């Protein structure tokens, strides 16, 4: 833990806060001495740093006054207590997607502690536990320091047909291995953890609904990223070593990138004041469902990344001299239509947010799942259309080294020319950006993460089925068709369970 005086206000403060932490990070089979300085990791650090810069440039959008300290903090640390708070999160997420063209890695933590705030409140109400008070104390300290909190939810899961306690190896889900009077020790692993190295603290949470025999897996706690017993193994991404080659053209988006790693816990200690669930297995599903509700709606961030890709596609069409063709314009319209549909459903989920017992606001669950379900499809079509508009050079372009080689530079400058008034290098860079976003390093954040992040498509379809009010809609049709409906009171009750909170009826 850094000295208690540290508080992050600027991106430079953030960069400094990551140094000297002695994290145990493996990349390419070797320990990384200073992860934040590694050329393959640095673009992801820059993406998080942009969240601090945006808060300074646009404080009303990306910062807020803490209700716990009275000081201005980053909006990524804020508990939403109104629908407007949820909406501003979405607007901030789209802006950051536009500014970075990638995943900026703070949404998981934000959505995790918002879900945990209301869940601990309701656990305490039922069991008279101290979790909510502990969590507020922890969050207050995070506000004082303006830190980055990461969420660690996705276990490696082993045999998907078996519950955690049924696994041949109990460590395939994070669980408590021993207890002392001061706290608990946990062992296990969390997969594809977004921005974990770039966070200051991790919230460790269960990944699924649990049963009574899974009590040791019903553990939620906060650990500093440099806690003894934690090993990080950095994840590969397509074309990731280009950032180690020097130069700025072949990387496509040289400044910004995402980050995923496996986090392995080996007898990691969580002291009692940082434990926010311990054995209350029946609340695991509430926590997971509330987290996914927040997080599926948070995928409006992809609309900001989509804005960049649409702009890149329009640029390359112009650079190719094809921008006036009607089918080119139509494809750009289709890309925009898909992108705005993602944003529209996500922000609608926020506008229709409602208060939980704790006072924290939760997005509309149906629309949050519809938003994420769009995200599992639409970025792939937007990417396909971008590749269509770019043409084959996007994947057959010679290297930056060849472009800068005196022996071949003039040849490539001549033969890679598009419209006469556009520099060849500009066209080269635009090709690489489209490649980066649809096939390369940042395709992880825009495509694969869009498919599997916050649950794969079937997970959203299950939730949509739960909330689709089919019996209510069948009764509506019967009434208008003149068919007698006997159970009208049940119809009103069922409608009120969902529409009542949305329309305040």
Dist CA 255 CA 337 (whole Å): 28
Dist CA 12 CA 431 (whole Å): 31
Task: Check the annotation: does 231 bind a ligand.
Answer: no
Q: What tokens were used for 468?
A: 């689709």
Torsion of CA 372, 375, 377, 381, to 10 degrees: 170
Q: What tokens were used for 328?
A: 């080119």
What is the residue whose two structure tokens read 């409608």?
A: 495
Cα 284 to chain centroid, rounded: 20
From the list 279, 283, 272, 281, the residue with the least C-alpha distance to 120 is 283
Q: What tokens were used for 295?
A: 């997080």
Cα 149 to chain centroid, rounded: 12
Residue 294 and residue 363 in contact, taking contact as beta carbons nearer than 8 Å: yes
Q: At what angle do helices 424-438 and 378-390 cross, to 10 degrees?
A: 150
Residue 19 and residue 34 in contact, taking contact as beta carbons nearer than 8 Å: yes
Dist CA 192 CA 445 (whole Å): 12
Local structure of 178: helix, strand or coil: strand
Q: Which residues are catalytic?
A: 103, 107, 194, 260, 295, 299, 301, 449
H/E element, 21: none
Please count the other Cβ atoms lying within 10 Å of the Cβ belonging to residue 3. 5
Dist CA 53 CA 160 (whole Å): 42
Can you spell out the DSSP letters for 80-144? Answer: P-SHHHHHHHHHHHHHHHHHHSS--S-HHHHHHHHHHHHHHHHHHHHH--SHHHHHHHHHHHHHH
Residue 199 and residue 148 in contact, taking contact as beta carbons nearer than 8 Å: yes
Question: Where is the binding site, in residues?
Answer: 194
Positions at the binding site for FAD: 194
């Amino acid at each position: 833990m850094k000295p208690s005086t540290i508080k992050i206000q600027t991106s430079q403060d953030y960069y400094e806060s990551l140094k000297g932490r002695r994290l145990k990070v493996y990349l390419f089979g070797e320990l990384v001495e200073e992860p934040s300085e590694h050329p393959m990791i640095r673009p992801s650090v820059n993406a998080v740093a942009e969240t601090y810069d945006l808060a300074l440039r646009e404080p009303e959008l990306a910062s807020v006054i803490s209700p716990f300290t009275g000081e201005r903090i980053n909006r990524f640390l804020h508990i939403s207590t109104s629908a407007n708070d949820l909406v501003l999160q979405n607007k901030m997420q789209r802006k950051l997607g536009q500014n970075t063209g990638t995943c900026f890695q703070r949404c998981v933590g934000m959505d995790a502690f918002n879900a945990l705030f209301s869940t601990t409140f309701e656990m305490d109400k039922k069991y008279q536990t101290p979790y909510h008070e502990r969590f507020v104390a922890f969050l207050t300290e995070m506000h004082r320091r303006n830190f980055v909190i990461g969420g660690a939810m996705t276990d490696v899961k082993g045999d998907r047909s078996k519950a955690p306690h049924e696994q041949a190896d109990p460590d395939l889900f994070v669980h408590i291995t021993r207890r002392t009077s001061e706290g608990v020790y946990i062992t296990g692993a969390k997969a594809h953890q977004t921005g974990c190295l770039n966070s200051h603290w991790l919230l460790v949470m269960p990944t699924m609904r649990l049963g009574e025999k899974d009590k040791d897996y019903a553990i939620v706690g906060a650990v500093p990223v440099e806690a003894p017993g934690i090993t990080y193994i950095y994840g590969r991404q397509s074309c990731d070593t280009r950032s180690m080659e020097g130069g700025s053209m072949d990387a496509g988006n040289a400044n910004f990138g995402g980050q995923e790693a496996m986090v392995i816990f080996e007898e990691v200690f969580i002291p009692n004041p940082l434990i926010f669930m311990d054995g209350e297995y029946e609340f695991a599903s509430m926590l997971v469902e509330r987290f996914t509700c927040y997080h599926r709606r948070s995928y409006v961030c992809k609309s900001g990344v989509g804005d960049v890709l649409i702009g890149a596609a329009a640029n390359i069409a112009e650079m190719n001299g094809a921008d006036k063709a009607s089918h080119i314009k139509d494809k750009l319209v289709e890309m925009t239509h898909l992108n705005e549909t993602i944003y529209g459903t996500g922000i609608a989920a926020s506008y229709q947010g409602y208060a939980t017992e704790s006072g924290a606001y939760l997005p509309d669950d149906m629309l949050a799942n519809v938003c994420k379900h769009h995200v599992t499809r639409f970025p792939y079509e937007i990417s396909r259309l971008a590749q269509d508009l770019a043409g084959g050079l996007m994947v057959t372009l010679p290297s930056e080294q060849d472009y800068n080689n005196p022996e071949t530079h003039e040849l490539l400058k001549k033969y890679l020319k598009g419209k006469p008034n556009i520099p060849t290098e500009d066209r080269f860079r635009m090709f690489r950006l489209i490649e980066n976003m649809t096939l390369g390093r940042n395709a992880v954040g825009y495509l694969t993460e869009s498919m599997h992040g916050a649950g794969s498509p079937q997970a959203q379809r299950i939730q949509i089925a739960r909330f689709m009010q089919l019996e209510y809609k069948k009764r509506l049709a019967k009434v208008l068709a003149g068919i007698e409906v006997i159970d009208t009171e049940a119809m009103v009750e069922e409608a009120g369970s969902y529409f009542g909170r949305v329309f305040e009826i």
